[in-house]
Amino acid sequence: MPPSVLIPSIVIGFVLVALSTWWAGWARAATVDASGARERFAIDHPEASVREVGVSADGRAALLWLDDGCGLVFAVGDKLATRKLRRPRVTTDAAGLWIESPDFATPRVHLAVDPTVWMERLGA
Amino acid sequence: MPDLPDIVQLAIPVYLAAMLAEIAIGRLRGTATYELRDTLTSLLMAVLFLAVSLGLAFFGIGVLRAIQQRWGLVDWGWSVPAFALCFVLDDLRKYWLHRVQHRCRWFWAAHVTHHSSQHYNFSTALRNPPTLLLTQIFVFRIPLALLGFPWEMIAFVAGLNSVYQFFTHTELVGRLPAPIELVLTTPSHHRVHHATNPRYLDANYAPVFIVWDRLFGTFVEESPEDPVRYGLVKNLGTFDPVRVTVHEWVAMIRDVLQPALTPAQRLGYLFGPPGWSHDGSRETTEMLRERFRNAARRG
Ligand SMILES: [Zn+2]
Ligand SMILES: [Zn+2]
Sequential pLDDT tens for chain B (299 residues):
778 888 888 899 999 999 999 999 999 998 878 999 999 999 999 988 888 877 767 777 888 888 888 998 988 889 999 999 999 999 999 999 999 999 999 999 999 999 999 999 999 999 998 887 766 667 888 899 999 999 889 989 999 999 999 999 999 999 999 999 999 999 999 999 999 999 999 999 999 999 999 999 999 999 999 999 999 999 999 999 999 999 999 999 999 999 999 999 999 999 999 999 999 999 999 999 999 999 999 87
Dist. CA A93 → ligand 1 center (Å): 41
**Residue B151 in domain:** yes
Residue from the list A13, A18, A24 with its beta carbon closest to the beta carbon of B26: A24
- Closest-CA distance of chain B to residue A38, Å: 15
Q: A11, A26, A99: which to substitute to probe chain B, counting the most B Cβ within 10 Å?
A: A26
- Asked if A77 contacts A59 with a C-beta cutoff of 8 angstroms, the reply is no
**Residue B134 in domain:** yes
Residues of B in contact with A6 (CB under 8 A): 9, 12
DSSP secondary structure letter of residue A98: E
pTM: 0.94
d(CA B178, CA A120): 57
Residue from the list A27, A83, A105 with its beta carbon closest to the beta carbon of B36: A27
CA dihedral of residues B223, B226, B230, B231 (deg, nearest 10): -120
CA dihedral of residues B216, B220, B221, B222 (deg, nearest 10): -150
List the beta bridge partners of residue A82: A73
Q: How many domains does chain B have?
A: 1
The range of the structural domain enclosing residue B58 comes to 7-216
Number of Cβ within 10 Å of residue B96's Cβ equals 14
Residue ranges covered by each domain of chain A? 1-28, 34-122
3-class DSSP state for residue B230? strand
**Residue B225 in domain:** no
Amino acid at the residue A16? L
Residues of B in contact with A20 (CB under 8 A): 20, 23-24
CB contact under 8 A, B12 and A81: no
**ipTM rounded to 2 decimals:** 0.92
- Asked if A32 contacts A61 with a C-beta cutoff of 8 angstroms, the reply is yes
- In degrees and rounded to multiples of 5, residue B37 shows phi and psi of -70, -35
Which DSSP string do the residues of A31-92 spell out, in sequence order?
A: ---HHHHHHHHHHH-TT--EEEEEE-TTSSEEEEEETTEEEEEEEETTEEEEEEESS-EEEE
